[in-house]
Amino acid sequence: MSTHTFLSVTIHHNMSFFSFGQSAEIDVVLTDAETRKKAEHKTEDGKKDKYFLFYDGETVSGKINITLKNPGKRLEHQGIKIEFVGQIELYYDRGNHHEFVSLVKDLARPGELTQSQTFDFEFTHVEKPYETYTGQNVKLRYFLRATVSRRLNDISKEMDIVVHTLSTYPELNSSIKMEVGIEDCLHIEFEYNKSKYHLKDVIVGKIYFLLVRIKIKHMEIDIIKRETTGTGPSVYHENDTIAKYEIMDGAPVRGESIPIRLFLAGYEMTPTMRDINKKFSVRYYLNLVLIDEEERRYFKQQEITLWRKGDVVRKSMSSQATIGAQRFEGSASSESALEKAAREDSG
């Protein structure tokens, strides 16, 4: 019996030893938290949450509030710092974070806190070159991390933000014309008005039936998202059908043409991402699918480019981000990207 009593006392002392002493809570508060727009973003577990929205070139500033849990007791520390981090994590290589942005500000030298304290921070005109992304095999995130360094266990707090990359109207935006055919059985031409679409755009197209000698019972256009991660022998492709749009149900006849209007705003899509930090790509394809009466499938695929239109800028962006968007345009035209977006919106 005495042995059992001894054991329980020993365990109790060990537990109380680690929880003994001063602790603190950290809170990160952005300067413009009241006015800054938020964006919905899906996390890894599929849940949607709202985060503060930033653009490339915008300053990230605010306060760190450190609240002591046991007032009157000192908190010894080895320094207090805040970091702004942009990182990519590949799910097959967990724990190995690739940081493409890493900024650090020291807020306090080693010492002690005798009372709750607030520290100001500012990361000026921060480069945020890529869009926030959570995919099937990869995650790109930006976050602030405040840390009170201690000998045994650091106290830290992370706060995620969402970054959107803005583009302006592509100068070259040719239409897509394609043919699909099976010799002496089927000949179809289809045409889409553009090859580059913004995320709230409409795909307008037409399908012409020049020769129909097989019985088609169903026809649809799919938007497929292809996420590519890794390089060399360890490349992973994930195809995800984002949208299915039924063009027709029933057999077409020769000489018939079918109009297409596919509204993109209702679907969850990101801009096209090509070779982001040499880690991953996200591309989109229009896939025309025909199914005949014997359940045979015929399809033709065409890549399209998606981009995020800069018109949201006028309503909520700061002047520094506006300059960033115009810089992104890279043209010396007298009409700015934002004026152009405004004119096309009202037109």
Looking at residue 181, its pLDDT comes to 74
Give every CB contact of residue 154 below 8 A, 6+ residues apart in sequence. Answer: 147, 148
Is 252 part of any domain?
Answer: yes
Domain containing 130 equals 24-163
Q: CB 142: neighbour CB atoms within 10 A? A: 23
183 and 102 within one domain: no
Supply 37's token pair. Answer: 């727009």
181 and 129 within one domain: no
Angle between the N-to-C axes of helices 319-329 and 337-346, in degrees from 0 to 180, rounded to the nearest 10: 90
32 and 156 within one domain: yes
- CATH number of the domain that residue 86 is part of: 2.60.40.640
193 and 154 within one domain: no
Is 317 part of any domain?
Answer: no
258 and 151 within one domain: no
145 and 238 within one domain: no
Per-residue pLDDT of the chain (347 residues; tens, 9 = 90+): 444 434 333 333 333 334 456 789 999 999 999 999 999 998 888 889 999 999 999 999 999 999 998 878 899 999 999 999 999 999 888 778 899 999 999 999 999 999 999 999 999 999 999 999 999 999 999 999 999 999 888 999 999 999 999 987 777 788 888 787 777 777 888 899 999 999 999 999 998 888 877 788 888 899 999 999 987 778 899 999 999 988 876 667 788 888 999 999 999 999 999 999 999 999 999 998 888 888 888 888 999 999 998 754 444 444 444 544 444 443 333 333 333 444 444 34
Of the candidates 283, 309, 314, 289, the one whose C-alpha atom is nearest the C-alpha of residue 301 is 289
Pairing status of strand 75-77 against strand 60-68: unpaired
Supply 157's token pair. Answer: 């707090």
- 3-class SS of residue 73: coil
Is 50 part of any domain?
Answer: yes
Bridge partners of 84, per DSSP, are 103, 144
Rounded CA separation 89/165 (Å): 19
262 and 200 within one domain: yes
Is 279 part of any domain?
Answer: yes
148 and 53 within one domain: yes
Stated pTM of the model: 0.79
Domain count, the chain: 2
Is 193 part of any domain?
Answer: yes
Looking at residue 21, its pLDDT comes to 63
Is 64 part of any domain?
Answer: yes
148 and 31 within one domain: yes
Is 326 part of any domain?
Answer: no
Hey, what long-range contacts does 233-242 have (CB within 8 A, 24 or more apart)?
234/92, 236/92, 236/137, 238/135, 238/136, 238/137, 240/136, 242/267, 242/268, 242/269, 242/284
Looking at residue 344, its pLDDT comes to 44
37 and 148 within one domain: yes
Give the length of the chain.
347
Identify the domain boundary among 163, 185, 208: 163
Distances (CA, A) of 87 to 83, 129, 138: 12, 11, 11
Identify the domain boundary among 113, 136, 163: 163
148 and 199 within one domain: no
Supply 73's token pair. Answer: 């007791």
Half-sphere exposure of 225 (CA within 13 A, CB side): 17
